[in-house]
Structure 1
């Protein structure tokens, strides 16, 4: 499983803009931005940004197949 890469973030006042390969992905404001910044300081930046943007689909595909919504009857 390759590690996520290509993420960056920029703090603009109280907002945080997360980009992936130079393209804006999401903007966090207020308490969410503060929580994100605390997590980034405490852990691996790339993994944290991948999780916050939803780009963390690494290994959970098999579990999703068994979800009742995805079962064929």
Structure 2
């Protein structure tokens, strides 16, 4: 069994659950209304949540390890 995980998946696993789930749901093509139900948020909050999730993921993918502080603001 191959235990290697690609860097993006490893970064997603390190994110807080709400951010990781939001990105995974969007990637899976889940409709925004259903995403809001899963995430227990108002529709107006979805776009900002995804923006923050993408920023945190980008930080988590940095090779210099500067990502640790990126998700301390939950």
TM category (shorter chain) comes to: 0.3 to 0.5
Larger Rg: 1
Relative contact order, CA 8 A, sep 6+: which one is greater?
Answer: 2
TM-score, normalised to structure 1, is 0.33
Q: Select the structure that is richer in helix.
A: 2
